[in-house]
């Protein structure tokens, strides 16, 4: 179950990564990679995980994205939702969720 601390943490991460994402008019591969890297840095910062260990989860995170985030209704998809998905997915894959 998600508690208030986890919700606040997620909101802060989304806000921080959105500072970068908001600079883009369009999201292409390079912009997505930057957003992904910023999200990974937030995992590292908040949990002290090794960046190489986090990066090793990236193929799984990307592979699962169409079947998880991609299943959201179109109106529920947003940059904020994608960042939250990526952050949560990394935490799940790294067994960092409570």
Whether residue 17 lies inside any domain: the answer is no
Domains contained in the chain, number: 1
- Taking alpha carbons only, the member of 49, 53, 89, 43 closest to residue 68 is 89
What's the confidence (pLDDT) of residue 2? 67
98 pLDDT above the threshold of 70:
no
Kindly calculate the radius of gyration of the chain based on its CA atoms and give it in whole angstroms.
13
Domain span at residue 40 reads: 28-98
Q: What is the pLDDT of residue 25?
A: 86
Q: Is the pTM of this model over 0.75?
A: yes
- Average predicted confidence (pLDDT) for the chain: 93
Distance CA 59, CA 47 (A): 20
The answer to the question of residue 11 being in a domain is: no
How is residue 10 written in tokens? 């997620």
């Amino acid at each position: 179950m998600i508690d208030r601390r986890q919700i606040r943490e997620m909101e802060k991460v989304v806000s921080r990564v959105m500072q970068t994402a908001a600079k883009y008019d369009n999201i292409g591969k390079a912009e997505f990679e930057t957003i992904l890297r910023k999200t990974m840095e937030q995992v590292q910062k908040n949990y002290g995980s090794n960046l190489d260990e986090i990066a090793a989860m990236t193929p799984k995170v990307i592979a699962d994205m169409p079947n998880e985030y991609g299943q959201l209704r179109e109106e529920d998809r947003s940059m904020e939702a994608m960042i939250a998905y990526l952050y949560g997915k990394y935490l799940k894959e790294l067994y960092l969720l409570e």
